[in-house]
């Protein structure tokens, strides 16, 4: 039996849940057939309700709030904003938008989120960081990059910071390598599986590669052989309550 100090717990979290029907379908497939245990819901898109319905049918799927303030894409070597919901430097606007998205989450799921994070990690900057740190404390749920005792792993991603594709990072072998290297304790492995045929995005073919790896029997076998506990933030909260 593995001691508590040596135990490895892994939350496999799919971002962009509800962004489109294709992304939602991919995340659900990875939960049903693969190692995905958790998802982060974007609450203001037409497919948000579709994702919520899928989550209602899967009570073991942890669902957090993916705060969505805007998106940026690389164009000609420079980052270009494709949409922006509020002025990111205006604290009142940002706080109001977070509250609006939290209300939408509660309306869709009829409960609070299991965790908090943000689209394209916008909460690494202020004022959103402080707003979400406060919200995390009031809800009693973890915030990505800020939660004590939860290590974040973003290695399973098929694109460089410069926008170049890295399909080799999404292979079964690469994913097994990440699993082998997990330290004791709790890790969140971020992923972005989905079918992006209904979405304009630079990260398209990579999403289907993620589905293949996350659902591959070799990966499941590695999880079992390494005695990794797959869990959601929801299950972690229950275990520590």
pLDDT tens, position by position, 18-64:
999 999 999 999 999 999 999 999 999 999 999 999 999 999 999 99
Question: Cα–Cα distance between 29 and 59 in angstroms, integer?
Answer: 15
Written as tens digits, the pLDDT of the chain (241 aa) is 455 668 999 999 999 999 999 999 999 999 999 999 999 999 999 999 999 999 999 999 999 999 999 999 877 677 889 999 999 999 999 999 999 999 999 999 999 999 999 999 999 999 999 999 999 999 999 999 999 999 999 999 999 887 788 999 999 999 999 999 999 999 999 999 999 988 888 888 999 999 999 999 999 999 999 999 999 998 776 655 5
- 236: which residues sit within 8 A by CB, 6+ positions away? 9, 11, 186
Question: Cα–Cα distance between 27 and 199 in angstroms, integer?
Answer: 15
Q: Find residue 66's DSSP bridge partners.
A: 117
For 177, the token pair is 């390598």
Which residue, among 189, 194, 230, 190, has the nearest Cα to 211 in the 3D structure? 194
Cis geometry, peptide bond prior to residue 127 (ω within 30 degrees of 0) = yes
Amino acid 199: pLDDT: 85
Query: Which H or E element spans position 229?
Result: strand 228-230
Cβ neighbours, 10 Å, residue 171: 15
Helix, coil or strand: residue 196:
helix
Both ends of the chain: CA-CA distance in Å?
A: 23
Amino acid 45: pLDDT: 96
Question: Cα–Cα distance between 136 and 146 in angstroms, integer?
Answer: 9
Question: Cα–Cα distance between 115 and 40 in angstroms, integer?
Answer: 8
For 38, the token pair is 């958790």
Number of domains composing the chain? 1
**Residues labelled as active-site residues:** 15
Question: Cα–Cα distance between 130 and 146 in angstroms, integer?
Answer: 11
Amino acid 3: pLDDT: 55
Amino acid 160: pLDDT: 86
Cβ neighbours, 10 Å, residue 81: 10
Amino acid 240: pLDDT: 52
Report the predicted TM-score, pTM, of the whole model to 2 decimal places.
0.94
Amino acid 170: pLDDT: 98
Q: Residue 73 is part of a domain; what is its CATH number? A: 3.20.20.370
Q: What percent of the chain is helix, strand and coil (3-state, nearest 5)?
A: 45, 20, 35
Give the residue numbers spanning the domain of 35: 4-240
Which residue, among 94, 95, 101, has the nearest Cα to 45 in the 3D structure? 101
Question: CA triplet 222, 115, 97: central angle to 5 degrees?
Answer: 140
């Amino acid at each position: 039996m593995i001691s508590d100090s040596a135990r490895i717990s892994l939350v496999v979290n799919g971002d962009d849940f509800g962004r489109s029907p294709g992304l939602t379908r991919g995340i659900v497939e990875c939960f049903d057939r693969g190692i995905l245990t958790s998802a982060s819901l974007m609450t203001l898109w037409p497919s948000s309700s579709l994702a919520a319905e899928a989550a209602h049918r899967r009570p073991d799927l942890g669902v957090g709030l993916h705060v969505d303030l805007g998106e940026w894409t690389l164009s000609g070597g420079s980052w270009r904003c494709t949409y922006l919901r509020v002025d990111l430097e205006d604290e009142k606007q940002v706080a109001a938008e977070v509250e609006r998205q939290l209300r939408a989450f509660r309306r869709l799921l009829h409960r609070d989120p299991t965790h908090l994070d943000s689209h394209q990690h916008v909460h690494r900057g202020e004022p959103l960081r402080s707003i979400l740190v406060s919200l995390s404390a009031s809800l009693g749920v973890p915030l990505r990059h800020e939660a004590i005792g939860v290590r974040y792993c973003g290695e399973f991603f098929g694109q460089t910071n410069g926008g170049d594709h890295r399909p080799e990072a999404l292979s079964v072998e690469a994913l097994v390598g990440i699993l082998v290297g997990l330290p004791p304790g709790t890790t969140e492995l971020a992923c972005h599986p989905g079918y992006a045929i209904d979405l304009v995005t630079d990260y398209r073919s990579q999403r289907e590669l993620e589905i293949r790896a996350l659902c591959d029997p070799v990966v499941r076998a590695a999880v079992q052989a390494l005695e990794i506990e797959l869990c959601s933030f929801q299950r972690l909260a229950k275990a520590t309550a």
